[in-house]
Structure 1
Amino acid sequence: MASRVPIEPQRVDAPLTQSATFLVVSINHSRAGAVKTVRTTLARLADLSKNVAIRDLAASFACTVGIGSEAWESVTGGLARPAELRPFTPIRGAVHTAIATPGDLLFHIRADRRDLCFEFERQLMDLLGDAVAVVDDTIGFRYFDVRDLLGFVDGTANPVGTTAVDHSILVTQQDDPAAAAVAAGGSYVVVQKYLHDLPAWRALSTERQEAVIGRTKLDNIELDDAPAGAQAAHKTLATVQDDDGTEHSILRDNMSFGNPAAGQFGTYFIGYSRRLWVVEKMLNRMFVGVPAGLHDRILDFSTPVTGTTFFAPAASVLAGLDSD
């Protein structure tokens, strides 16, 4: 029997941290050698991470890299494409739209210390140089007791435990036999940057806010679902089941961000999943509504200004990108 090549996933399930940087870049193909520079940098990412993490081993430093659909072939040198990897498709509901924005690479940088995120990004950009152009660079922070800026606990539905997390977010060889050598141990990643209309949200009573979210604000207790055919809460619309009624989870590591002086308040959504269709179905339920026309009312107060899909291959795949 042929031996299997060891699969070392990236740290997509790293602990929730106090700080994060979400860096999305596009490759500057007009610059000679840009793709080679990117591949070399990604192949050396583990060493770069260790160089920063060693400064405080208790700070839970981690960096996850995602590769976008349009950049997959050039960055990987033609490795097999994961079965579900495709560009983010805009979702147009009757009232709100989930827009698509460009991005070839995602760097999800996180730690309990902001300076470690800063230092890693500095060293990373020194290596990439003008081989890339920054599309978006958002600094996130953990707000109070894991709440978003709307005041509600965020991430309650995340899978708990190593087995549950791995089952929800890591692609298996059986999931994608045609690209198993590349896809196994990887994860699909969807990011969206939401801006909140806090004055309008705060004008709602606590009871109305709770009806929108589907949980109590103070103690995070789940409220009963609305009757079939009625307006569903966010927690219901964000719950995805397949045709057999099996519920599928994703791993969220959302972060608050903002600039009070500029009147900017938001949530950076990042979802990791073993199956891209799960995230896509969740967003379709939110923006189109169930039934159609009854969209997620959180969208009346939170507007997405980005939307991009990536695939985070195993660390062992990244390490081999500079082999030619």
Structure 2
Amino acid sequence: MHEESWDRTPIEPQSVNAPLSRAAVFLVVTIGDSPEAAARARSVIADIGGLVRAVGFRDLDAHLSCNVGIGARAWERFGQQERPAQLREFFEVRGPVHTAPSTPGDLLFHIRSERGDLTFELERLLLDKLGDAVTVVDEVQGFRYFDARDLLGFVDGTENPTGAAMARSSLVGEEDPAFAGGSYVVVQKYLHDLTAWSALSTEQQERIIGRTKADNVELDDVPGERKSHKALNTITDANGVEHDILRDNMPFGRPGAGEFGTYFIGYARELWVIEQMLRHMFVGDPIGSYDRILDFSTAVTGSTFFVPSNDVLEALDD
């Protein structure tokens, strides 16, 4: 068990543990091959705090924030002598029916606010500063949907840790002291087949998810029946200790284009916890009994990043 007292740490994390916002932008970019491109990207992200303040002062109550995640390839190109212990590329997870693909990504910008105009303005200025040093490979505008539901109609993020457990589950501690206060983050974009999903009865949907749809009450798995999405995402180690992650998923969509989805973003103290969740979902637990939600939700992206503490982030440009 992790016993640190996070409320006394002098390390300043990025806003990993910020509350669920009304609007969000998920921006993934790759960095150009030249040393100049890497240097420009490194300089911009080291000063991201100044850019957030420049936009956010317009409405402090809107709580504008931006977490910067750095991929394994970018970390090497930034010339850092040390690297986070578990930082690695996202590995494709190929199951018997469905696959979690691995897609390119050097930097992740997770922008959040209570106002969509502020997230828009920060993204605009950020990309202007990065210029031709980067190429946008994925850009999603998320929104809060009713009472924090996904487009499948279920409340999302119910199992998130709260209080002191939130920091213990999401922030690196004394096991990797050079990167304490940082967090591993995995992002995936899922596209939903809402027509097929809507053809199921509410009871069938609830058995797949593992919760009631109307009031979000946890359901017990039925003996002999395949595990629910909830059960497959419950991770315990060899000692029977349960490990949590912090999710900040957001719905997105373009009805005119027939696009409806969920952007999964999971922050974790230990990357293996998210990786194990994905193996359970796509390969199955037991093997072959994959997550039935994947028959209706297709993963089209997958990338891993490390979100360093503000201290480490700002030092990148020293």
Relative to the length of structure 2, the TM-score reads 0.96
Q: How does 1:43-82 map to 2 (within 5 A)?
A: 43-75=46-78, 77-82=79-84
Distance 2:39 2:102 in 1: 27
Matched residue, 1:88: 90
Distance 2:45 2:262 in 1: 27
Distance 1:43 1:108 in 2: 15
Pick one of 212, 220, 225 that aligns with 2:216: 220
Distance 1:213 1:192 in 2: 18
Pick one of 113, 124, 130 that aligns with 1:128: 130
Matched residue, 1:255: 250
Distance 1:87 1:57 in 2: 36
Matched residue, 2:275: 280
Distance 2:181 2:118 in 1: 26
| Residue 157 of structure 1: how far off its partner (Å) | 0.3
Aligned sequence identity (%): 63
Pick one of 28, 42, 51 that aligns with 2:32: 28
Moved more, 44-53 or 249-258: 44-53
The answer to whether the 8 A contact 1:238-1:286 is kept is yes
Matched residue, 2:43: 40
Pick one of 153, 158, 161 that aligns with 1:159: 161
Distance 1:234 1:42 in 2: 36
| Residue 226 of structure 1: how far off its partner (Å) | 2.8
RMSD: 1.1
Q: How does 1:5-24 map to 2 (within 5 A)?
A: 6-24=10-28
| Residue 6 of structure 1: how far off its partner (Å) | 4.5
| Residue 290 of structure 1: how far off its partner (Å) | 1.1
| Residue 61 of structure 1: how far off its partner (Å) | 1.1
Aligned to 2:73, the other structure's residue is in SS state: coil
Deviations 1:197-217 (A, max 9, x none): 000000000000001000000
Aligned partner of 1:13: which letter?
N
Structure 2 unaligned spans of 5+: 1-8
Matched residue, 2:190: 194
Aligned partner of 1:27: which letter?
I
Aligned to 1:66, the other structure's residue is in SS state: strand
Aligned to 2:226, the other structure's residue is in SS state: coil
| Residue 79 of structure 1: how far off its partner (Å) | 3.3
Matched residue, 1:168: 169
Deviations 1:209-240 (A, max 9, x none): 0010000000000001232x530000000111
Aligned partner of 1:203: which letter?
A
Whether 1:289 and 2:284 are equivalent positions in the alignment is yes
Relative to the length of structure 1, the TM-score reads 0.94
Distance 1:155 1:147 in 2: 9
Aligned partner of 1:141: which letter?
F
Aligned to 1:70, the other structure's residue is in SS state: helix
| Residue 101 of structure 1: how far off its partner (Å) | 0.2
Aligned to 1:217, the other structure's residue is in SS state: coil
Distance 2:222 2:314 in 1: 49
Distance 1:79 1:47 in 2: 26
Aligned partner of 1:11: which letter?
S
Structure 1 unaligned spans of 5+: none
The answer to whether the 8 A contact 1:226-1:233 is kept is no
Moved over 4 A (4+): none
The answer to whether the 8 A contact 1:15-1:60 is kept is no
